[in-house]
């Protein structure tokens, strides 16, 4: 499988008044045309890893890596202009909270149409049809009506799906999806995963799927990286999650109440200082 | 069964929209009763109707054998029934100290002995007295939810309405909060009505549950029945299947 993304010794830190916060501390992995999951508790550095790949790290933070390469392009030295144009077309990110990604003063349909037309030379009519088709593809009922609504006029789940539609219409080669389905119902969640799945298997997209839900990730991804305190503590073939070695991974798996297991009280994580070393 | 809370043919409308459509449930004293269903199905509306926060247009709510007014709830009601919401960020004022947040319900209900109760409540939810003078914006999500629970418990209610109390938390923190909720229910013989979209959570916490769809209860069953797959509605079956995670090819 050809590698499209190489991340080697990625570090992200935030200088603050009380000292340096090291959000990502030496993360390394490669990605091909596959589904790679990144899991871990909140604060473990998942989003900052994704943002560094996108070039969306906050300006005051410091990013370093011994290698950060996408399709032969050195992302660390690429000019801002190159990175911006990559972001609009070949690399896309779906954020956890659609509020920050949708423009509040523009109708949902127009945002999708504009995204499409910056990438492809298509007429107005076709752009509209394809935008509506994409809204339908993310299971938005009554897509023609939703096309004309503004972000504040739809529910959170619908806004999330509209944003997914906007990201997907550009047909990116690499997609970083940061908790893309956490706000959705399980049934809708699975539909969205189905769409992402097809993009990987049919279009050969590379997918980084960030989530705190270890079980969901393992049912969906090919490989899973488990993060704790800014580091990778374990990497697993998703189907092999049951054989996780690290006590943190095992703890995350065990603490979830599942149908048919009767454990009162639930086991809780017993965090060890050496996990963060 | 003599119910401690029941909803009888409860209907709630927002303008022309039927958010609850003749819903009935009965909850026994000391029971933990679950509400599941996809978002928008009316779970929060039902909890809020019990708390007097939804516009009830017909039907009634009976508490301890006495029918309640459609809207008005007196202080005695909130002494008996408390609510915990999903979002620990929205439900606690960020610029208030934990101490202020816990004082408030005591002041409203004219409860004496604040000092002892606050220390006890903090201890009960697993936060030491060192948390007492922190601001809520200085707390993690799990800590905030513990404070929200402490605030609900501090006036010693009998019934807790829990609306997705752990949905915003990490799995590891969820486990701690669920254990806490079980522990206080046992210690204080509380009655819970708990909403969750997570069937694993609901069957773990509740003995019986109602499945909601489009403002209606479509199925009532025990957690044991749900776990064993003894269910009659396709809708419930779909929720079950979906809760097991992604299945490649099963999604068209
Ligand atoms: N703007 C910021 N300033 C300071 N610290 C930050 C900032 N953004 C994130 N962090 C810190 O970086 C760490 C990792 O954050 P993040 O990648 O968002 O975690 P995750 O996505 O796994 O929940 C956290 O400890 C967080 O507090
Ligand atoms: N204040 C309100 N005004 C108008 N519609 C509302 C209001 N509150 C809830 N609804 C609608 O009622 C329905 C049920 O909502 P809710 O009880 O919050 O669902 P759930 O908790 O099951 O996700 C939804 O369609 C929602 O949009
Ligand atoms: Mg994140
Ligand atoms: Mg709700």
Quick: pLDDT tens for B146-191. Answer: 999 999 999 999 999 999 999 888 888 899 999 999 999 999 999 9
| pLDDT for res A99 | 65
Asked if the peptide bond before residue B94 counts as cis, ω within 30 degrees of 0, the response is: no
Interior CA angle at A189 toward A183 and A195, to 5°? 130
Distance CA A212, CA A222 (A): 16
* Residue A1 pLDDT greater than 70, yes or no: no
Q: What average pLDDT does the segment A251-256 reach?
A: 92
Between these two residues, B205 and B38, which has the higher pLDDT value?
Answer: B205
Q: What percent of chain A has pLDDT over 90?
A: 64
Question: What mean pLDDT comes out for the span A201-223?
Answer: 92
User: How many angstroms separate the CA atoms of A186 and A227, rounded?
Assistant: 24
Q: Which residues pair with B216 in a beta bridge?
A: B213
For the record, the structure tokens of A8 come out as 């080697």
Q: Which residues of B touch A (CB under 8 A)?
A: 38-40, 141, 170-176, 178-179, 182-183, 197-201, 203-205, 226-227, 238-240, 242-248, 251-252
Sequence spans of domains, chain B: 5-91+151-243
Residue A98's pLDDT is 64
pLDDT score recorded for residue A17: 87
CB contact under 8 A, A268 and B176: yes
Nearest CA in chain B to A190: B246
Handedness of CA A191, A195, A196, A202 (dihedral sign): positive
d(CA B252, CA B249): 6
pLDDT at res. B77: 95
Which is nearest to A188 in space by CA: B221, B39, B81, B43? B39
Average pLDDT for residues A210-236, to the nearest whole number?
Answer: 94
Q: Which residue has the higher pLDDT, A192 or A29?
A: A29
The total of other beta-carbon atoms located within 10 Å of residue A17's CB is 4
- Residue carrying structure tokens 């911006």: A84
User: Binning pLDDT at 50, 70 and 90, where does residue B4 land?
Assistant: very high
Contact call for B38 and A185, based on CB within 8 A: yes
pTM: 0.90
pLDDT one-digit tens code per residue, B225-246: 999 999 999 999 999 988 888 8
Write b or e for each residue in B86-102: b if 16 or more Cβ atoms lie within 10 A of its Cβ, otherwise e.
bbbeebbeeeebbbebb
What fold does the segment set A1-9+28-58+68-90+174-277 form as a domain? Rossmann fold (3.40.50)
Q: How far is CA B53 from CA A47, B46, B150, B190, B227, in A?
A: 37, 9, 22, 22, 33
Point out the residue among A190, A266, A269 whose CB comes nearest to the CB of B178.
A266
Query: What pLDDT, on the 0 to 100 scale, is given for residue B247?
Result: 86
pLDDT above 60 (res B213): yes
Percentage with pLDDT > 70 across chain A: 97
Confidence of residue B251 (pLDDT cuts 50, 70, 90): very low
Measured between alpha carbons, how far is A167 from A94 in angstroms, rounded to an integer?
A: 7
User: What mean pLDDT is reported for chain A?
Assistant: 91
Crossing angle for the helix pair A156-169 and A186-203, to the nearest 10 degrees: 0
Closest CA to B188 of B212, B215, B236, B156: B156
By the 10 Å C-beta count (0-12 exposed, 13-18 middle, 19+ buried), A90 is classed as: middle
Q: Which residue spans of chain A are classified as CATH 3.40.50.300?
A: 1-9+28-58+68-90+174-277
- With b for 16 or more beta-carbon neighbours within 10 A and e for fewer, the A155-165 pattern comes to eebbbbbbbbb
Q: Tell me the CA–centroid distance for residue B138 and ligand 3, in Å.
A: 19
- Mean pLDDT across chain B, nearest whole number? 92
Between chains, do A41 and B182 touch, taking CB under 8 Å as contact?
no
Q: How confident is the model at residue B252 (pLDDT cuts 50, 70, 90)?
A: very low
Q: Coil, helix or strand for A245? A: coil
Instruction: List the single residue in A190, A214, A258 with the smallest CB-CB distance to B242.
Output: A190
pLDDT at A180: 80
Would you place residue B16 in the very low, low, confident or very high pLDDT band (cuts 50, 70, 90)?
A: confident
Contact A212 B170 (CB under 8 A): yes
A182 vs B200, residue with greater confidence: B200
| ipTM of this complex | 0.89
Could you read off the pLDDT of A87-138 as tens digits, one per residue? 878 999 988 766 667 888 999 999 999 989 888 899 999 999 999 999 998 8
CA distance A4 to A229: 26
CA-to-CA distance for B5 and B166, rounded, in angstroms? 23
Interface membership of A44 toward B (CB under 8 Å): no
Return the residue in A201, A224, A255, A259 with the most chain B beta carbons within 10 A, the one to mutate for interface testing: A259
In this prediction, residue B222 has a pLDDT band, given cuts at 50, 70 and 90, of: very high
Beta strands in A58-167 (DSSP E): 62-64, 67-70, 73-74, 91-94
Give the number of beta-carbon pairs within 8 Å between A and B: 96
| Residue A86: predicted pLDDT | 92
For residue B52, report the distance from its CA to the centre of ligand 2, in Å: 15
The CATH superfamily of B5-91+151-243 is: P-loop containing nucleotide triphosphate hydrolases (3.40.50.300)
Atom of ligand 1 nearest to the CA of A50: 17
pLDDT (tens digit per residue) in B24-38 = 999 999 999 999 998
Residue A127: name the closest of A79, A156, A170 by CA.
A170
* Nearest alpha-carbon partner for B211 in B219, B201, B223, B203: B219
What are the CA-CA distances from residue A243 to residues A156, A222, A225, A250, A260 (Å)? Answer: 36, 15, 14, 9, 21
């Amino acid at each position: 499988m050809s590698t499209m993304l190489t991340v080697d010794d990625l570090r992200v830190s935030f200088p603050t008044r009380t000292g340096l916060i090291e959000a990502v501390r030496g993360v390394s992995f490669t990605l091909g045309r596959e589904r790679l999951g990144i899991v871990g508790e909140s604060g473990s550095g998942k989003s900052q890893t994704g943002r560094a790949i996108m070039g969306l790290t906050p300006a005051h933070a410091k990013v370093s890596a011994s290698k950060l390469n996408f399709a032969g392009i050195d992302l660390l030295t690429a000019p801002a202009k190159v990175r911006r144009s990559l972001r609009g077309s070949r690399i896309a990110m779906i954020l956890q909270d659609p509020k920050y990604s949708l423009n509040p003063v523009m109708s949902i349909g127009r945002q999708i149409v504009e995204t499409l037309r910056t990438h492809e030379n298509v007429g107005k009519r076709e752009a509209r049809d394809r935008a509506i088709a994409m809204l339908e593809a993310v299971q938005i009922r009554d897509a023609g009506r939703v096309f004309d609504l503004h972000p504040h006029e739809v529910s959170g789940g619908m806004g999330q799906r509209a944003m997914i539609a906007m990201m997907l219409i550009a047909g990116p080669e690499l997609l970083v999806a940061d908790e893309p389905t956490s706000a959705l119902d399980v049934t809708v969640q699975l539909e969205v995963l189905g769409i992402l799945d097809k993009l990987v298997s049919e279009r050969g997209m590379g997918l980084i799927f960030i989530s705190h839900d270890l079980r969901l990730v393992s049912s969906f991804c090919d490989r899973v990286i488990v993060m704790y305190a800014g580091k990778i503590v374990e990497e697993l073939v998703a189907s092999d999650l049951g054989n996780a070695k690290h006590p943190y991974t095992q703890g995350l798996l065990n603490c979830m109440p599942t149908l048919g297991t009767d454990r009162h009280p639930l086991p809780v994580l017993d965090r060890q200082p050496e996990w963060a070393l | 069964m003599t119910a401690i809370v029941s909803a009888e043919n409860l209907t709630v409308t927002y303008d022309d929209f039927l958010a609850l459509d003749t819903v009935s449930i009965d909850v026994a004293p000391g029971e933990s009763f679950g509400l599941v269903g996809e978002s928008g199905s009316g779970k929060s509306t039902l909890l809020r109707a019990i708390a007097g926060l939804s516009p009830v247009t017909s039907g009634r709510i009976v508490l301890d054998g006495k029918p309640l007014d459609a809207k008005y709830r007196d202080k005695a009601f909130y002494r008996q029934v408390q609510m915990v919401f999903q979002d620990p960020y929205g439900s606690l004022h960020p610029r208030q100290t934990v101490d202020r947040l816990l004082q408030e319900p005591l002041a409203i209900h004219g409860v004496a002995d604040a000092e002892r109760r606050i220390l006890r409540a903090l201890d009960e939810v697993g936060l030491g007295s060192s948390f007492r003078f922190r601001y809520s914006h200085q707390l993690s999500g799990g800590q905030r939810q513990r404070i929200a629970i402490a605030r609900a418990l501090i006036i010693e209610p009998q019934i807790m309405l829990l609306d997705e109390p752990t949905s915003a938390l990490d799995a590891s923190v969820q486990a701690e909060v669920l254990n806490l909720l079980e522990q206080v229910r046992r210690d204080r013989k509380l009655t819970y009505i708990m909403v969750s979209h997570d069937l694993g959570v609901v069957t773990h916490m509740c003995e019986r549950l109602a499945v909601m769809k489009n403002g209606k209860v479509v199925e009532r069953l025990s957690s044991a029945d749900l776990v064993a797959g003894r269910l009659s509605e396709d809708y419930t079956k779909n929720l079950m299947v979906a809760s097991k995670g992604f299945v490649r090819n099963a999604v068209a």
